[in-house]
A = this chain, B = another copy of it.
C-alpha cells in the first residue's frame, strides 16, 4: 500500500496520455470556449429569473439556482491533464462542445472522448 501511495507523487502517471504542446493549446481553447458558453447561459438565465422575481420565495430560488450551478461548474470544469478526456467527453455529450473544436488532438484522446460521450448518452437513454 505504501508503495502505491508514494507513486501518486511521481510524475508523469504511468497510464495517462501525455499532451503535446499543440494539443495543450487546442485543449485550452476548447475548454475556455465551453466554459464561456456555460457562463453566458447562466448569466442569461439569472437575468431572466431576477426579472421575474415577485416574492421572497423567488429570491431564494435564484440563490439556490446560483449555488447549484456554481458547484456543478466547479466540478465539471477540471483542467487537469489527467482529467481532460473525461471533461471533454462530458462536454461533447452535453453539446457544449462540438467535435470540430477538438480537431488536432491525438486519435487516442479523441477515441476516449467520443467513447465517454457515447457511454453517457446510452446511460441516459437506458
Q: Residues on A close to B: CB < 8 A?
A: 39, 42-43, 46-47, 49-51, 53-56, 58-60, 62-63, 66-67, 69-70
Contact A42 B59 (CB under 8 A): yes
Please tell me how many copies of the chain the complex holds.
2
- A51 — which chain B residues lie within 8 A by C-beta? 47, 50-51
Q: Known interface pairs A43-B53, A50-B50, A53-B43. Does A63 touch B67 (Cβ–Cβ under 8 Å)?
A: yes
User: Per a CB cutoff under 8 Å, which of B55, B56, B60, B66 touches A62?
Assistant: B66
Q: How far is the CA of A97 from the CA of B56 in the complex (A)?
A: 19
- A54 — which chain B residues lie within 8 A by C-beta? 43
- Minimum CB–CB distance from A1 to chain B (whole Å) comes to 39
